[in-house]
A and B are shown apart, each in its own frame.
Chain A
Amino acid sequence: MRIPSFVPLVESERRSREVTGFVIEILVWAYLALVAARIIWWDIALPFVEGYAIDDVPRAWAVSFIESLAYDSRYSEFSWKACGIVFVLGALIGAGVGATGRGFGPWVASISKLQVNNPEDSIRIREHWSLARKEGILLLLLTILTGWVLTKVQISKMTELVGLQSFARLVLQLACGLPLIGQPLFVVLESIFNGIIALSNTFGSVFNSTSEPLPRFALECVPTDASYYGNAVSKLLESVYLAFMATFFAVPVAFVLAFFGARNLTRHSFVTRLSYTVVRLYINITRSIEPIIWAILFSVWIGIGPFAGALALMVHSVSSLVKQYSEAIEGVDDGPIEALEATGASHVAVAWFAVVPQVILPYLAFTIYRWDINVRMATIIGLVGGGGIGGLLIQEQGLAHWTQVGTLAALIFIVVWTMDFLSAKVREAIQ
């Protein structure tokens, strides 16, 4: 498990890095073994052999093999006991590889900013880690394979005509809800609509490989009538204002918290280091609880309505903004900070005079983007009783009024696009 001396490491840390590398190596091999057993053997190889065993003409070798294992893909489960055994086996291999000090674990553990001074050493280091690189590639490939199996990727499903047709039908119904469709001036849009229907019918009959004919596609577009827009727009405005309130009150809170959550400003004393941990803990907890859950919590607390939605968005905005703000602070130029510290200024003054001017532009961009996100999220928040256009949306969707859903989506799109346009203009103006 020794990392050779030509790999540059801070000498006082060499021992702990070696141990870390050894542990990582064990975990990597345990993971590889688990993936190999569970995914390659259990989910790919065994069902493949089973396929031969239960074929119309069963193959004798496959039947005997499957029976000897008592495997049945419908009932068998990969037991925790098997997991444990495989894990231990993998860990043993890992310990063996780790003992050589050449594997992926020691490589990861030895990564440091230190420079190699001797050119011969860098060649030796390259050779030393050749096994580690191969292990790394294997790790990546097996992880992709696992992801593929677990996500149940089935490319063939994407080209099935029935599915495609249902998809097209829904899209057309949504499109029918677009504003202005059905107005005399927009006859062109309607003929395009009818054209698409005709086209998809032709497509369906030409590419149909099954024996039965595909059901023909007939869809009438009944546009949303004008009176519907009044209600929808007022609900939409409710969402926009709700998002604005959430953003507006989140900004000052996040502004203050961000200084305590930035690594480079909290190094100097125990209290500030503690504040860093507390702030990070807070934002990570609140960010991992989705706004939709916050909305449920708040609507239970203060009742269904826009206020609960605004509070939910605010909690989420505070933590997201603190994360972005504090990362902007961590990226500032140290020079002015040093210069002001040298004048004897207090930490607050240093933050205000040396840090704030450097981060004000990124802050503005983040804040506008957060408002944009909040407008879009406000529509979702409505789903759980947070007020705004989301409530209407879930209602129409539940009744399968796809045309109305299309109308609402189009309205939301107009707002989001306007916001994006405005924020681009603002950012341009303040460069």
Chain B
Amino acid sequence: MFNPRSHASWKFLAADSNSGLVDETSPILSINGVEKVYPNGTRALKGVSFDVPRGSFVAVIGLSGSGKSTMLRCINRIHEPTAGSILFDGQEMTTLSPKELRHARQQIGMVFQHFNLIKRRDVLTNVLSGKLGQMAEFPFGGIFKRWPKEWIEEAHAALKLVGIPDKALVRADGLSGGQQQRVAIARTLMQKPKLLLADEPVASLDPSTSNSVMQYLKILNEKHGVTVVCNLHFLSLVREYATHVVALRGGEKVFEGKPLDITPQWFKDIYGEQAKEVEIH
């Protein structure tokens, strides 16, 4: 199960990260034989392994139910993986204590298909909630503490970056889908993440909004050096934005490579014989 090569590199990395020197060429995330069996017996992942290079934009593709979302949620242990190892920045995620896990999660941002904002609160509070991880060490999770001034400024800056500085005091459920997703991106910006997990971030948006949301993810990736792992449905978006592609089918990895390597034959392998490509631009 355990890949000896990555095991060795993990030891080497762990020593390195202690001294503050992280090997820039090693993958930021290395997934090894991850399996997930849900309590109802569904085997969502059957031993998936792949590496995510530092600074890359990895697209995970596959049919609905192929295990993409489960894969992403196993990385930050929103769902507990049943077996396998997940090395994030030289740290084994699967064996972390709850406190260590919270600390690791602060460095991993996440955006969702349905945005998952706090609907009845204003946009600013939603953005600031990205900093809750840093509040975790205060009594009662910091719920009785005021937000520090510099964080509020930071939140305004994040909103400016995603192009909605005027919406700070609007209730989150008053925004359109695209705007809500940008608030979610601003929320992860507050975490200053090393890695961003995006679970079908554009699946419930219209094509033009989809492209603008993808643009923001690209800015994060290229200008802020955030590594992105993104579940996507549309190959046109994959070709335009992703640097690497991983394809899942029935909980198993069937393809790993560059977007341009997806030949019609590969496409049929991933999506089945009957599938036809649908374009969005």
Contact = CB atoms under 8 A, between A and B. Distances in A.
Is B one of A's binding partners?
A: yes
Given A348-B143, A354-B118, A343 B191 contact: yes
A283 B129 CA distance: 33
Interface in A325-374: 335-336, 338-350, 352-354, 357-358, 360
Of A269, A336, A345, the most chain B CB neighbours within 10 A belong to: A345
Interface residues of A, number: 28
A252 to B, nearest CB: 15
A354 B117 CA distance: 8
B163 interface: no
B143 A349 contact: yes
A360 to B, nearest CB: 7
Interface in B103-143: 103-106, 108-110, 112, 114-121, 125, 129-133, 135-136, 140-143
B78 interface: yes
A111 to B, nearest CB: 14
A12 B43 CA distance: 13
A357 B114 contact: no
B132 A345 contact: yes
B120 A343 contact: no
Given A12-B41, A113-B40, A339-B184, A344 B106 contact: yes
B231 interface: no
B140 A10 contact: no
B141 A352 contact: yes
A343 B107 CA distance: 8
B94 interface: no
Interface string A382-409: 0000000000000000000000000000
Contacts of A336: 116-119
A295 B134 CA distance: 48
Nearest to B143: A352
B76 interface: yes
A343 B184 contact: no
B102 interface: yes
Contacts of B112: 335, 338-339
B187 to A, nearest CB: 8
Contact of A343 (B41, B105, B114): B105
A268 B142 CA distance: 20
B78 A349 contact: no
Interface residues of B, number: 40
Contacts of B121: 353, 357
Nearest to A346: B141
Given A338-B116, A339-B184, A346 B105 contact: no
A121 B197 CA distance: 40
Nearest to A354: B118
A55 interface: no
Contacts of A358: 118-120
Contacts of B141: 345-350, 352
Nearest to B110: A342
A350 B136 CA distance: 10
A336 B111 CA distance: 11
B135 A345 contact: yes
Interface string B150-161: 000000000000
B136 A353 contact: no
A429 interface: no
Contacts of A346: 102, 132, 135-136, 141-142
B76 to A, nearest CB: 6
B41 A11 contact: yes
Nearest to B108: A342
Contacts of B130: 343
A12 B41 CA distance: 8
B118 A353 contact: yes
A155 interface: no
Contact of B133 (A113, A338, A343, A360): A343
Contacts of A269: 98
A238 to B, nearest CB: 37
A302 to B, nearest CB: 34
Contacts of B106: 343-344
Given A343-B133, A349-B141, A335 B114 contact: yes
A352 to B, nearest CB: 4
Interface string B44-79: 000000000000000000000000000000001010
Nearest to A361: B120
A137 B123 CA distance: 54
Of B76, B108, B118, B191, the most chain A CB neighbours within 10 A belong to: B118
A227 to B, nearest CB: 52
A220 to B, nearest CB: 60
Contacts of B142: 346, 349
A114 interface: yes
B201 to A, nearest CB: 13
A113 B112 CA distance: 26
Nearest to B73: A338
Given A114-B40, A341-B105, 4 more contacts: A10-B41, A344-B105, A345-B102, A349-B142
Top 7 A-B residue pairs of the complex, sorted by shortest distance between their CB atoms: A344-B133, A349-B141, A345-B132, A346-B141, A344-B105, A348-B141, A335-B116
10 contacts: A336-B117, A336-B118, A340-B129, A343-B110, A343-B187, A344-B101, A344-B133, A345-B132, A349-B135, A357-B119
Interface of A: 10-12, 113-114, 268-269, 335-336, 338-350, 352-354, 357-358, 360
